[in-house]
C-alpha cells in the first residue's frame, strides 16, 4: 500500500513539473521587453491601447477591457499583436507558442490616474495546441 502511494505521489510530481514547464508567466512594464524561457521569444510591451476597466469601488454596467500592443520576435521574424483581458481565448500565436494577457496593473481607481508608463502586463505563454 505504501509503495502504491509513493508511486502515485511520484507520478503526480512528474505531471506537475511537466505542466509547469509548458506554461510560463511573464510580467513586463510598458516600453520594456523580456525573453521567454520556453522558445526564446522576445516580448516587447509596445503600448497601452485602452484601459476601460470598471474602477475599484465603482458600479459599472460593463466590466470594461484592458488592451495592450506587443511585439513578438525571434530569429529576425517579428509580428505585432493586440492582447486584451476580456478575450483570453483570442491569443496571439507566434513560433508555436500562445500568448494571452492575464492581467494588467495597476487596476483603475476612482481616486487615481496612472500614466501609461506605470502599467505592467502579466502575459501567460504556453505551447500552442
User: Which pLDDT score, from 0 to 100, does residue 77 have?
Assistant: 96
- The residue among 30, 41, 34, 25 whose CA lies nearest residue 67 is 30
What is the percent of the chain where pLDDT is above 70?
A: 82
The reported pLDDT for the residue numbered 91 is: 86
What is the DSSP code string of 26-68? EEEETT-EEE-TTT--EEEEEEEEEE-PPPBT---SS---EEE
Whether the predicted pLDDT of 82 surpasses 50: yes
Q: Which pLDDT band holds residue 94 (cuts at 50, 70, 90)?
A: very high
Q: What is the dihedral of CA 128, 122, 104, 129, to 10 degrees?
A: 10
List, in order of start, the domains of the chain with CATH numbers. Answer: 25-127 (2.60.98)
pLDDT of 65 reads 92
pLDDT per position as a tens digit, 4-58: 444 444 344 444 444 445 799 999 999 999 999 989 999 999 999 999 999 988 8
pLDDT at 62: 87
Return the higher-pLDDT residue of 62 and 99: 99
Alpha helices in 2-123, H assignment, sequence order: 2-22
Strand duo 92-94 + 33-35: pairing: unpaired
Residue 100 is predicted with a pLDDT of: 94
Mean pLDDT, rounded, for 108-124: 93
User: Taking a C-beta distance cutoff of 8 angstroms, is the pair 100, 88 a contact?
Assistant: yes
> Cα–Cα distance between 88 and 100 in angstroms, integer?
6
Q: How far apart (Å, rounded) are the C-alpha atoms in residues 91 and 87?
A: 8
Query: What's the rounded mean pLDDT across residues 78-83?
Result: 96
Average of pLDDT values for 82-101?
88
Amino acid at each position: 500500500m505504501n509503495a502504491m502511494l509513493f508511486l502515485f505521489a511520484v507520478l503526480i510530481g512528474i505531471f506537475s513539473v511537466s505542466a509547469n514547464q509548458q506554461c510560463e508567466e511573464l510580467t513586463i512594464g510598458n516600453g520594456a521587453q523580456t525573453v521567454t524561457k520556453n522558445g526564446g521569444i522576445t516580448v516587447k510591451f509596445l503600448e497601452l491601447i485602452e484601459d476601460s476597466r470598471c474602477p475599484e469601488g465603482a458600479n459599472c454596467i460593463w466590466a470594461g477591457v484592458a488592451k495592450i500592443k506587443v511585439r513578438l520576435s525571434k530569429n529576425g521574424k517579428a509580428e505585432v499583436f493586440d492582447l486584451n483581458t476580456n478575450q483570453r481565448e483570442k491569443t496571439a500565436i507566434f513560433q508555436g507558442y500562445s500568448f494571452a494577457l492575464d492581467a494588467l496593473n495597476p487596476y483603475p481607481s476612482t481616486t487615481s490616474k496612472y500614466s501609461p508608463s506605470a502599467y505592467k502586463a502579466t502575459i501567460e505563454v504556453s505551447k500552442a495546441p
